[in-house]
Structure 1
Amino acid sequence: MNRRTFIHSSLRIWSLCAMLLTYGCGNENSTSTGSGTALELAEKVSVVDASSTLAGSGSLSKALVRLAKTNPPNATATSEWSTDETQKFVAERSAEAFDIVNEILCMIAQTGYQEKLGKGNYKAFIDINQCDQSNDSAASAGQNSTNQTSGSNRTDYETWLVHSATDGDNHVLKMWIREGADDYEPAKLICLKTVISESVSDTNPYGIFISTFAAYPGANTTCEGIPIFKGFLKSEKDENEKVLLKFIVDGGFAGSSGESTFSEKAVLDRAADGKSMQGRVAGTNSFGGKADTYDFGIASNEEVFMREDEGSTVCLSRTDFHESAWRYGVYDADGKRVTRNSGFPIKTSDGAHGWIGYWGLWIDNDANVSNGDTVYKEVFSEDGGTATPYTVVKIGAKLKKYTRQTATLNFIKNIPLDWFDNASMTNYRVKWNGSKFVKFATMSQSDWFWKNITESDLDLSELDFGELNFWSQAIGGQVRVPLPNCTWDDVEMKSSCGSPDNDTEVIYFTEDIVYPDDTVPSSFRCYDNCPKYDASSGVVNHESDFSPEATGHTYTFADMLLKDTDDNSLLMTSESESMQWGFNSGPLFEPTAENLALLACDWDPTETCGWKGWSVLSEYYTYETGPNQWNQFSGLKDSSGVFLAFEAPLAVEYTHSQTDTSAIDYKYHGVKFFLDYGGFGDLQGIPGVCRSMDTGEVTNCSDGSDIRWSPEFMVPEGATMTAGGATYYVKPLEVEQVMKSTTCPSGLSVTDFDLPEISLWEDPAIGAEPTVEGAPAVIGGVLQ
């Protein structure tokens, strides 16, 4: 396990130390409220400032400015379209010590600390997935393809207790954060105190402050005892008015994989105008008996960033870079944010807090909620709000409906398509290049990373079926391409098909979760990956039978459970190693004469080719069951017995425009993408690539800190998307720059700074964890 993976999997902890870097990169110094002056925290921090100049030839930013910007036609100067700002930051290898910093900055931005200044203690639900900095790990490139269960979209909130107040001329933040135990680290109570004495300005993006923090064993209710880890972050000016930023975290714990220890230190020395910088970042981490040590010296001027490590020097251009965006806002014609009714906060009868929504149920600190329990919808207000009771309906399975959609190959040109070759047992990444399908990458079976290969044609002469079955993040999941002029070889048991063209049909499906009061067929037929009752585990797979004489398997559906012909409920009761993510069936469909006719074999309509169900049916269902929350249905019904329905992510269509032939995304010009918008900031489906942090260029993915995964292109501000006949407008909210390699200039060198010592740490002493009743005042950054 490398340093990056170790930190993200076992140490979200020390991120708190750098929380005060939130005061960097703010455009405005403060916000005046009735209770004093609130300082604005940035959501991202860069070791080197983002550049506002155009990047070099062929870069996205240069090409994008050539596009005519389109604003929502009815947006005003005070609309959310106009007031929502775009944050820019630079991704740099030596700045990985601040990745968790940025994670916590994003979380702090969700607490509503400015609006809640002087309002006393309050509760905030923090959406961890919004802020997960490990999304840029190269491993994401493989996970996006392999993790295709409902678990990849599950809700993950964390409860923070916050106190934001003024003390004389200072702004003081106190935070109590509880983190549960996981596979790597113990449960803990994290206590943090920040005192800001000078606010952020254009010449001092950090302000003057001191932040101290410590984490204590999870059983603690007070910030006392022997910390699991501790540290501080502070900024100060030297005699030349340069801002010196110092940070350290030190600690360790015994986990399931053995003893873990870590120490991270950093010093940054910035010029007042931000045009030059020097610093040093160092650390030693030991996880499961494996140690990792690093020590980077860094420096920059207006044009070049320099990184030195054990005698190896890398120089990167501050004016020639690749840009991509991690978060987007989507707006209507009036410039108002498009939102989704994705769920709301709840409270159990025992006082535990949680969230119920489209992706299921989340309860704070793993509290138990059973079928039939009463929970209360929480609505925050200054007078305590009103708690509306609902009855919990929990079923150990869920049914999902898929509705058929079509496009043509011309619209998905060059979009990455994941394909598994049964003959070689190999995962390939394939694309339609405008005239044929070509393989251009393969997934390594040893580390599950995509590796680029020399492009080669996809052989259509020896296929298992007369259509190609792909998976694509950019198209929303399963993709089917029926091929022309296929003939079956009874000896080789293979299909040989003709070549498709740009007008060949592409089939994909939209997905909806079935609710108990939805109308669904009472009986189903299944031919592929069908569930079978098993006395020990509840559910196993029927052995697939693809012969045209196969009769399939028949089921009934009642009370949200699938049952076989012996009336056995198909419900997974024990987890197996092969089904740790749960069981997902193949297509289940109503066995009407019309549907069965669609499955008739092309060569003999009296026989049934069940595998055709994946592509020819106008709708089908799949059945999912397993031990995880995301394998199960969780819902609420009101006092009248009516179920509450939540909205799925909005499926939007976006056609990319890029007329600069030298741009990396020119290959997507005119290509249609089918993206999912889950709410403000959350736009999924843009393909990604891995880049070398030493050169900024596209490279093979691998498990190393010198490789970064990022979206391949950026949707420009003012681009339009459509859904259900409506037009929406897009704005990037969080833009990343990856610098490209350049020649090291004379006169630029690193300085060997002295690093801070943990002996300088002071106890935050913020007192016992407060009791905060009622609903969260803020959820995912939205005031309630």
Structure 2
Amino acid sequence: MKLTKLTIAICAMTPTVTYAVFNDSGTDYSNANVNSHVWNAALEPIDLVNSILCFTAQFNSVEFVNDGAYSVLADEAACFDESDDGSSGQSSGASNATQYMKAISVVTRGDDFSPLSVNVWLPEMGGGDGEQAIMFKSEISEGASDSNPFGRFTFNFDFFDNFTAGNQYGGGEVITVDTIPGSIGFTLYESSSHGSNTYSQSASVVMASDRSSGIALTGFDRDGDGQTSYALAFNSTHVLVQSVNGDFSDLPYKIGNNSGQCLSRTSFDSFVHRYDLFNATTGAQIEINSGFSMKYDSDNNGSYDSYGHIGYWGVWTEEEGALADGDTVIRDENGTQTSYTYVNAPGRLIKNTVKTLALSSARGVGFSYWDSAAFADNSFDQWVVSYMTVADDGVGSDGFYKIGKLSWGNNGSTVVSQAPDQIVLSANDSLYMYSEQLGGEVKYLEGQTSLTYYEQTFINGSETGSGEVLNSGTVTLTCYDNCPIGTFELSDLTNFSGSSSPFETGSGPYTFTFATSGNNTLTLVSAASSEPVRYNASLSQSNISSTPHSWGVRSGPMIIGSVSNSWDIYDPSITTEFYVWETGIQSWNQLSTVKDGSGDVVSFERPLQIAYQHSDANDRSGDAGEYDGQTILINYGGNGDLWGIPYVSGDDQYRPEFSLADGVIMGGSNQYVVKAIEIEQTMQVASGQCSALTLGDPAVDVPTSVQGSADIGDMPTVTDDPAVIAGVTQ
């Protein structure tokens, strides 16, 4: 949920938090905006509206009054939280590419005494089965002020399958309360249906104009899950919340029962969802040149009419798969247009720099593991693995143990625990695992006292400078284990390894080449088969969905040069750097980049990767718990995008396992300092402190339908470039 005036209304204006200044006044660190919002289950009915208002704030509407229709590329992810789809555990590049959503807006006002009218069309919002078209209509009669921080407005939104068919799924309405002297607030009603599934939510919030006290009712009704209703009463220090599995008439206060959960409005638990990094000496924000917005010709008619983004993580376009290798894209930078050639390869080469973590520090780190047993059992997707010791866990011997079964669903992951089951390794065997905390792939070689994890960098063909891997235009790599055969037919995807698998069955080693030019540009080629390492172009996702390689294929380690023994490839004291080739049918398994007019691949900066050790002193709460002393591979992609801290599901929310305190120093040379910029707060329980609060009916009834609609007509055609991108007017 994002910070908006509606959230402030429900939370009754929680006090502003003051953050200590890291450096001198006026630095980027000191001036960084910090957004805080309070979450409680009773606030869920307005979560969608909060997100919509956050989203439409990116349109900069007041700058375009009576200027006609204009287009916007908005950042949906900045305002709508999506559950993790599990792909991060399967691929190095999944879901990280910048993605925008196209919208059309018209803002009008008759004169200085007339309401401001804002109409918005979103032709494609969401993704997959949840994709829909939305119309917004807002009539603003009075702007926000100190005496009325919500102003006066009516906001309608309607959902459709698409604007062509025009089948309406539902809609909603928010209306501010302005008819009760000395009071402010709003009402909300929204309903939708998809086939036999229905959903509705509603609320009425009325408070004193100084926001010192108020009454609210909120509720939602999910088909299949039933109806839940809440009553709230608050003053300057506390809020009393009562709930019932039923409608508003079933709330206990209706028959004189004023019981409920008492929460503090001054004491909170904090969960940070976004951070920025700054220079630890100057306080300047760290900028990452990770890509740029571009436009392309969607129908090959010579007009560059569609928009996208190209960068380190790949490409995003309005229509998936809109670009083909060799297409021209245009970058428009302050009116200067530059042409680039789009490059697509069927996989990507990934450089891995080896890091080590002592087994003595591995206890408590979360791992996942996929083997043939997990593939054969359709009841779960991966094993949950933990490093356990005789001394601390009472197991028979120190080692890695399967402790649960992890499944991915529409609402994220679930884990079914089981008794510890040790993973037994033979001499020179390697255990391949995944750890979100350590940034991805993790390997353990039997008999070692440490495990290895990796800082990863995509090789995109721009690495041609002196001393770089592609300085000569090509590189030869040697593979000793899990060496791919070449081009994969469907029959090569039957097994994990051995016969009918994508990997060679001989003892090796095998040689591969990777070059910046030629018939297989930026594609790994097997010297043994003379074939590019890729899926046969005739295969589709439906062909391979039932195979062990539906997520893609990744090679074993490949090195420049050779080692004396094949198992040395996994010895971090011998092999400190290696490459892997990842290939698949989906875009996240492939390389997407651009070449400039000179034929050189454009270089994009990879996210910063920082090995960080957490501690009580660095924890926002002062207590790091089981993460005290643990190592986490922190990644930073700029503009609040910092990841690597493990998340956990609870109360229907995804929250970080811990949050960093502002001013924490990190980096190999202590060159960075971190600051939270988006904070979720939960009110702490304050038992026995709500005796002065009485639950009751708000002065305005909870609506049971909408009064208006977002019937704003057909979406206008706009041929000009986007006027606003991610909230920045162009």
Q: Which bracket does the TM-score occupy, shorter chain normalised?
A: 0.7 to 0.9
Indicate the larger mover: 713-722 or 654-663.
654-663
Tell me the distance in 2 between the aligned counterparts of 1:527 and 1:438.
22
2:228 to 271, 283, 294: 294
Shift of 1:535: 3.4
> What's the CA shift string for 1:538-595, capped at 9, x where partnerless?
8676725999993354444442223332223332232211367532313241362xx3
Corresponding residue for 1:153? Answer: 96
> What's the CA shift string for 1:37-78, capped at 9, x where partnerless?
xxxxxxx65732474499xxxxxx9xxx9xxx5624xx542x
Q: What secondary structure, in the 3-state scheme, does the structure 1 residue paired with 2:86 have?
A: helix
Q: Using a 3 Å threshold, how does the CA distance of structure 1 residues 120 and 53 change in structure 2: closer, same or farther? A: closer
Corresponding residue for 1:417? Answer: 366
Note if contact 1:80-1:335 (Cα within 8 Å) is conserved in structure 2: yes
Alignment of 1:84-163 (within 5 A): 84-113=32-61, 121-135=69-83, 140=84, 143=86, 146-163=89-106
Answer yes or no: is 1:387 the counterpart of 2:337: yes
> What's the CA shift string for 1:622-672, capped at 9, x where partnerless?
222222221111111112111112121111344434249995414444544
Note if contact 2:356-2:572 (Cα within 8 Å) is conserved in structure 1: no
Q: Using a 3 Å threshold, how does the CA distance of structure 1 residues 429 and 268 change in structure 2: closer, same or farther? A: farther
Tell me the distance in 2 between the aligned counterparts of 1:388 and 1:775.
15
Corresponding residue for 1:475? Answer: 438
Tell me the distance in 2 between the aligned counterparts of 1:569 and 1:228.
47
Q: What secondary structure, in the 3-state scheme, does the structure 2 residue paired with 1:150 have?
A: coil
Tell me the distance in 2 between the aligned counterparts of 1:110 and 1:439.
48
Corresponding residue for 1:398? Answer: 348
Tell me the distance in 2 between the aligned counterparts of 1:277 and 1:761.
27
Tell me the distance in 1 between the aligned counterparts of 2:577 and 2:615.
32
Indicate the larger mover: 668-677 or 177-186.
177-186
1:589 to 535, 553, 558: 558
Note if contact 1:145-1:418 (Cα within 8 Å) is conserved in structure 2: no
Q: What secondary structure, in the 3-state scheme, does the structure 2 residue paired with 1:716 have?
A: coil
Q: What secondary structure, in the 3-state scheme, does the structure 1 residue paired with 2:272 have?
A: strand
Q: What secondary structure, in the 3-state scheme, does the structure 1 residue paired with 2:54 have?
A: helix
1:209 to 144, 153, 159: 153
Q: Using a 3 Å threshold, how does the CA distance of structure 1 residues 121 and 656 change in structure 2: closer, same or farther? A: farther
Tell me the distance in 1 between the aligned counterparts of 2:647 and 2:131.
34
Corresponding residue for 1:430? Answer: 386
Answer yes or no: is 1:236 the counterpart of 2:205: no
Shift of 1:352: 1.4
CA RMSD of aligned residues (A): 4.0
Corresponding residue for 1:715? Answer: 660
2:205 to 268, 272, 284: 268
Tell me the distance in 2 between the aligned counterparts of 1:615 and 1:710.
37
Corresponding residue for 1:570? Answer: 533
Corresponding residue for 1:627? Answer: 585
Answer yes or no: is 1:280 the counterpart of 2:217: yes
Corresponding residue for 2:30? Answer: 82
Q: Using a 3 Å threshold, how does the CA distance of structure 1 residues 708 and 76 change in structure 2: closer, same or farther? A: same
2:293 to 312, 328, 345: 345
Shift of 1:252: 3.1
Tell me the distance in 1 between the aligned counterparts of 2:611 and 2:728.
26
2:323 to 369, 391, 394: 369
Alignment of 1:542-581 (within 5 A): 543-544=497-498, 550-558=507-515, 559-564=521-526, 565-572=528-535, 573=537, 574=539, 575=541, 576-577=544-545, 578=547
Shift of 1:738: 2.0
Note if contact 2:46-2:188 (Cα within 8 Å) is conserved in structure 1: no
Note if contact 1:87-1:734 (Cα within 8 Å) is conserved in structure 2: yes
Q: Using a 3 Å threshold, how does the CA distance of structure 1 residues 616 and 219 change in structure 2: closer, same or farther? A: farther
Tell me the distance in 1 between the aligned counterparts of 2:348 and 2:241.
53
Note if contact 1:414-1:668 (Cα within 8 Å) is conserved in structure 2: no
Note if contact 2:102-2:123 (Cα within 8 Å) is conserved in structure 1: yes
Q: Using a 3 Å threshold, how does the CA distance of structure 1 residues 615 and 711 change in structure 2: closer, same or farther? A: farther
**TM, length-normalised to structure 1:** 0.74
**TM, length-normalised to structure 2:** 0.79
Tell me the distance in 2 between the aligned counterparts of 1:239 and 1:187.
37
Q: Using a 3 Å threshold, how does the CA distance of structure 1 residues 325 and 453 change in structure 2: closer, same or farther? A: farther
Alignment of 1:287-326 (within 5 A): 290=224, 292-301=226-235, 302-310=237-245, 314-318=260-264, 319-326=266-273
Indicate the larger mover: 646-655 or 435-444.
435-444
Shift of 1:376: 0.8
Percent identity for Structure 1 against Structure 2:
24
Read off the aligned partner of 2:188 and give its amino acid letter.
F
Indicate the larger mover: 709-718 or 196-205.
196-205
Shift of 1:356: 0.9
Corresponding residue for 1:31? Answer: none
Note if contact 1:675-1:685 (Cα within 8 Å) is conserved in structure 2: yes
Q: What secondary structure, in the 3-state scheme, does the structure 2 residue paired with 1:361 have?
A: strand
Q: Using a 3 Å threshold, how does the CA distance of structure 1 residues 752 and 627 change in structure 2: closer, same or farther? A: farther
Indicate the larger mover: 580-589 or 510-519.
580-589
Tell me the distance in 1 between the aligned counterparts of 2:196 and 2:485.
43
> What's the CA shift string for 1:392-434, capped at 9, x where partnerless?
1122222212122345567x57652214396986723436899
Tell me the distance in 2 between the aligned counterparts of 1:452 and 1:751.
43
Q: What secondary structure, in the 3-state scheme, does the structure 2 residue paired with 1:345 have?
A: strand
Tell me the distance in 2 between the aligned counterparts of 1:472 and 1:741.
34
Q: Using a 3 Å threshold, how does the CA distance of structure 1 residues 453 and 87 change in structure 2: closer, same or farther? A: farther
Corresponding residue for 1:696? Answer: none
Note if contact 1:533-1:539 (Cα within 8 Å) is conserved in structure 2: no
Note if contact 2:136-2:710 (Cα within 8 Å) is conserved in structure 1: no
Read off the aligned partner of 1:242 and give its amino acid letter.
S
Tell me the distance in 2 between the aligned counterparts of 1:475 and 1:624.
19
Tell me the distance in 2 between the aligned counterparts of 1:413 and 1:50.
43
1:196 to 140, 163, 166: 140
Note if contact 1:529-1:543 (Cα within 8 Å) is conserved in structure 2: no
Note if contact 2:172-2:191 (Cα within 8 Å) is conserved in structure 1: yes
Shift of 1:198: 3.1
Shift of 1:360: 1.1
Corresponding residue for 2:598? Answer: 640
Note if contact 1:308-1:750 (Cα within 8 Å) is conserved in structure 2: no
Note if contact 1:538-1:571 (Cα within 8 Å) is conserved in structure 2: no
Note if contact 1:297-1:309 (Cα within 8 Å) is conserved in structure 2: no
Read off the aligned partner of 1:161 and give its amino acid letter.
I
Tell me the distance in 2 between the aligned counterparts of 1:506 and 1:70.
39
Tell me the distance in 2 between the aligned counterparts of 1:341 and 1:369.
22
Tell me the distance in 2 between the aligned counterparts of 1:463 and 1:164.
69
Corresponding residue for 1:329? Answer: 276
Tell me the distance in 2 between the aligned counterparts of 1:236 and 1:206.
9
Q: What secondary structure, in the 3-state scheme, does the structure 1 residue paired with 2:29 have?
A: helix
Read off the aligned partner of 2:227 and give its amino acid letter.
T
Answer yes or no: is 1:684 the counterpart of 2:684: no
Read off the aligned partner of 1:300 and give its amino acid letter.
F
- Equivalenced residue count is 664
Corresponding residue for 1:71? Answer: 22
Give 5+ residue unaligned stretches, structure 2.
246-250, 253-258, 299-304, 375-381, 393-397, 464-469, 516-520
Alignment of 1:697-776 (within 5 A): 706-722=651-667, 725=669, 727-743=671-687, 745-746=690-691, 748-752=693-697, 754-763=701-710, 765=712, 767-776=713-722
Tell me the distance in 2 between the aligned counterparts of 1:720 and 1:119.
47
Q: Using a 3 Å threshold, how does the CA distance of structure 1 residues 275 and 127 change in structure 2: closer, same or farther? A: same
Note if contact 1:107-1:127 (Cα within 8 Å) is conserved in structure 2: yes
Answer yes or no: is 1:650 the counterpart of 2:584: no
Q: What secondary structure, in the 3-state scheme, does the structure 2 residue paired with 1:475 have?
A: coil
Tell me the distance in 1 between the aligned counterparts of 2:506 and 2:336.
60
Q: What secondary structure, in the 3-state scheme, does the structure 2 residue paired with 1:196 have?
A: strand
Corresponding residue for 1:218? Answer: 162
